[in-house]
Structure 1
Amino acid sequence: MAGRGESARRGWPRIWCAALLALGLAWGAGLDAAPVLADEPVVTEDRAATADAVPADETATTADAAPTDAVEADDTAEAEAVVEPAEDTAEDTADAEDAVEPAEDAGDTASLNHTPTFEGPIHILVIGDSLADGLWAGVYRRTRVFDDVSVERHTRVSSGLSRPDYYDWNSEIDEVIADEDMDIAIVSIGLNDGQPVFYEGRWDHDFGTPEWDRIYRERVLAFMTELTDAGIPTFWLGLPTVRSAEFDQRVQHMNEIYREAAAETGVHFVETRAITADPSGAYAAYLDDEDGRQRLMRANDGIHFTGRGYEMLGQALVDAIAQSLGVLTDADGPA
């Protein structure tokens, strides 16, 4: 027993040396290992990119809130949500200048024959559904280079003109005009309207039928007329390309109704298909920015946009307003 104890005591130094040697090698290897990066891009979810489920909250209105800056996700990865760009970008979007279709003169509406004069601050109100909610941020970013311009919103997720049982824009627009301070109106409505129309308590008219077209067109005309009769220059954003081929056919059908109604009422229809499609005219998630670089512009649902995409639409609207009203021009920007 004594011999085994003495042998064990003599073995401990060898065990400790081996342990210390192993620790030293591990520490040395750690010095050569690549560091773990902690500054990966942060993606912030924007409610404008979520599915259009009927919400429980009331209409979203803001008087003085501004979009919150967030770090933009890498363009090589798919966007799981709408991402606001971190950098200030005030340059014109190149393709947006060709995307404006001013309405032809027609009818007796005040805005047809009268260009308003802006002598003080300009108040822009963005009205509509979840696309309008994201568009508000894009317009805000593209107008903050101008002095005395405010951009506010009156939006309702999942809303449209086909479902007055959920939210009745034709009844609400009078209150919007009375309650909101707006010199210019921007409207984006329609992405939720490719469905049977609710009329007189029933769902009898399927999308695209003659009765659907008649009812829907009447609602579009009534909505536009409320704004133009109030003397408010109105810019109606045409619906963009969407990924679903079947849905895209419906989008084009509704755009024809908006385009014709705008010509009748003096509303400025702003085309978006040219700037939201690839060279062949098809839907594309990646599009050229103002520098000619391919950027991720669309959200994963194939309908909404990334923060950069909303800025692209915002620039198209700024260009339309400048062309039609003579404000928000280069001369109004910083020297």
Structure 2
Amino acid sequence: MSDRLSERQLSWMLPLMGLVVSVCWLTSLERYLGGRYHLSLESALPEAVADMLFAPSRWLDAQVRQGAPKTVFRLAWPTPSGWSEPAHAVAVDQSPQPPVLASLPEPLAAGEFVPGLQQQKLLPGPQRILFAGDSMMQGVAPLVIRALSAQHPDWDMLDLSRQSTGLTVRKYFDWPGRIQEEIEARNLSLVVVFLGPNDPADMLVDGQRHGFPSPGWAFNYALRVDEILSAAAQRQVRVIWLGLPSMREGRIREGAALQNRIFQARAKTWGMDYLATEPLIGKLSEPFQKFIIDEAGHALNLRAEDGIHMTPAGLNRIKKALLDHIEQAIQP
């Protein structure tokens, strides 16, 4: 009897173990490809193959995400008389227009770039700042936090940047959900976002694949940007969204050009800030260059060998621009 029971147990335990191992292996492989080559295995495979291989992980992801807080697209605007923070932010009926499904924008002319926006002021007093993003932010955040801590010892700052993350694939790390949690838990006053090179890949939304680049991809990507901006706006938290500089690789370069359009357009709609890094590091409308000529006529290497990240010199240029942006937003 015990032998039969053992055989019955093995008949379902072995396939279950195989399924678990397969899910873990596929998850690890996709994370490695995302971190090393900025590729999504799930998005790169033919749709029928991806549906079959990733069905278990999609199901598990859906179970985990059930009951997650849903972002409400309503905005609590600051009062016209000042920037005083209410005890409880009350949402009002005035809402920004949501993104629309439209044709992809035409490329910018050579030398042009998506301009920056500075539309908001920080509330007076000590700031509580969250730095969110992928490996782009991992290079910038420590420099900015070190400088701000020296200037403002009473400020509270958290670096939440994580490599190989983004907005396209949220089952490994859900930026909109995590930022919303941090806003509520830490009573933040400012969120700084810098991400994007991992995102130019097909996007799966409610079981539907939106190829990159396509109008459907741009629309759903803008919705995920809006999840972050709306969560911040409801709590009267300011946001500074950093745009991407020039990229060497074709797909990432094409993505950065489209992403910057989305970042700036949604920031403008929500009354948030957009900090353009193209004038600092390199414009997407011009050929990629690792070096620039500084004011003294010396060649300055700004880019790492991968054509994505920055050297210390490049990071310092972004750090200085972000510090200046924050200082200009501080009310006397």
Aligned to 1:193: 199
How many residue pairs get matched? 224
Q: How does 1:84-123 map to 2 (within 5 A)?
A: 101-102=116-117, 115-119=121-125, 121-123=126-128
Report the CA distance between 1:234 and its aligned residue: 1.0
Which of 299, 308, 320 is 1:315 aligned to? 320
Aligned to 2:299: 294
**1:51 paired to 2:66:** no
- For 1:259 and 1:275, the matched residues in 2 are separated by 17
Give 1 or 2: higher helix fraction: 2
Moved over 4 A (4+): 288-292
Aligned partner of residue 51 in structure 1, secondary structure: helix
Report the CA distance between 1:291 and its aligned residue: 5.7
- For 1:292 and 1:232, the matched residues in 2 are separated by 41
- For 1:229 and 1:182, the matched residues in 2 are separated by 12
Report the CA distance between 1:315 and its aligned residue: 1.0
Cα pair distance change 1:246/1:116, threshold 3 Å: closer
Aligned to 2:167: 161
Which of 249, 260, 275 is 2:265 aligned to? 260
Aligned to 1:241: 246
Report the CA distance between 1:140 and its aligned residue: 2.8
Residue identity over aligned pairs, in percent, reads 26
Instruction: Tell whether the 8 Å contact from 1:286 to 1:295 is kept in structure 2 after alignment.
Output: yes
Report the CA distance between 1:216 and its aligned residue: 1.0
- For 2:147 and 2:292, the matched residues in 1 are separated by 18
Report the CA distance between 1:153 and its aligned residue: 0.6
Render the CA deviation track for 1:138-176: whole Å, top value 9, x for unaligned: 313543551324543112211111101222222222212
Which of 176, 179, 198 is 2:182 aligned to? 176
TM-score under structure 1 length normalisation: 0.59
Report the CA distance between 1:254 and its aligned residue: 1.0
Report the CA distance between 1:103 and its aligned residue: 5.0
**1:131 paired to 2:116:** no
Which structure has the larger Rg over C-alpha atoms?
Answer: 1
Greater RCO (Cα-Cα under 8 Å, separation 6 or more): 1
Report the CA distance between 1:235 and its aligned residue: 0.5
Render the CA deviation track for 1:81-111: whole Å, top value 9, x for unaligned: xxxxxxxxxxxxxxxxx9972256xxxxxx6
Report the CA distance between 1:180 and its aligned residue: 3.6
Aligned partner of residue 253 in structure 1, secondary structure: helix
Report the CA distance between 1:270 and its aligned residue: 0.5
Instruction: Tell whether the 8 Å contact from 1:237 to 1:270 is kept in structure 2 after alignment.
Output: yes
Report the CA distance between 1:325 and its aligned residue: 3.4
Aligned to 2:145: 140
Instruction: Tell whether the 8 Å contact from 2:166 to 2:198 is kept in structure 1 after alignment.
Output: yes
Render the CA deviation track for 1:48-91: whole Å, top value 9, x for unaligned: xx73679xxxxxxxxxxxxxxxxxxxxxxxxxxxxxxxxxxxxx
- For 2:318 and 2:195, the matched residues in 1 are separated by 14
Render the CA deviation track for 1:170-192: whole Å, top value 9, x for unaligned: 22222121234633221012211
Render the CA deviation track for 1:258-281: whole Å, top value 9, x for unaligned: 111001111100011111127983
Instruction: Tell whether the 8 Å contact from 1:103 to 1:263 is kept in structure 2 after alignment.
Output: no
CA RMSD between the two structures: 2.9
Which of 192, 198, 212 is 1:207 aligned to? 212
- For 1:290 and 1:124, the matched residues in 2 are separated by 33
Letter in 2 for 1:190: G
Aligned to 1:14: none
